[in-house]
Amino acid sequence: MIPHVDRRPVIEGLRALADLLDSNPRIPAPRGVFAVRCVYRSTDEEAAAEIDRIAGELGTETALENSSYHTQIHLGPVRFKASAMLLTPSTLQPTRYRCDDCAGTGLDGLAQTCDTCDGTGFC
Ligand SMILES: [Zn+2]
């Protein structure tokens, strides 16, 4: 069974955080926000197809890192990643590889956009 996530509370929480930080500059802002959606499916093929579909919606590339097949988008220091753990990852070929300079975070040591991957986390 595919777990259902009610997106409305997540959207409202993100907006509430933005409003809170915007209205009270004495609260230190985080260096970034990292949101993850884990994808669960019955088979690797179904999981990979869902990651491919999400990548199509985001306009992003997919990547295979060990057994994690994923896609992600960087919105400045805010990152959203959809990921599926595959049982037999050798059946897929990655389209991109994790950036070694920023370890796939898209940010350098000063929380600035990584110059090597231009903030995508992939090369
Ligand atoms: Zn990088």
* 2 alpha carbon – ligand 1 mean position (Å): 33
d(CA 86, CA 64): 9
Query: To which residue do tokens 């057994």 refer?
Result: 67
* 44 alpha carbon – ligand 1 mean position (Å): 28
Please give the pLDDT value at position 102: 84
* 108 alpha carbon – ligand 1 mean position (Å): 7
Asked if residue 63 lies in contact with residue 95, where contact means CB atoms within 8 angstroms, the answer is yes
* 7 alpha carbon – ligand 1 mean position (Å): 29
* 123 alpha carbon – ligand 1 mean position (Å): 7
* 73 alpha carbon – ligand 1 mean position (Å): 13
* 71 alpha carbon – ligand 1 mean position (Å): 15
Splitting the chain (123 residues) into consecutive groups of 10 residues, what average pLDDT does each group show? 79 96 96 92 91 95 90 93 88 71 84 84 76
Q: At 18, which amino acid appears? A: A
Asked if residue 47 lies in contact with residue 38, where contact means CB atoms within 8 angstroms, the answer is no
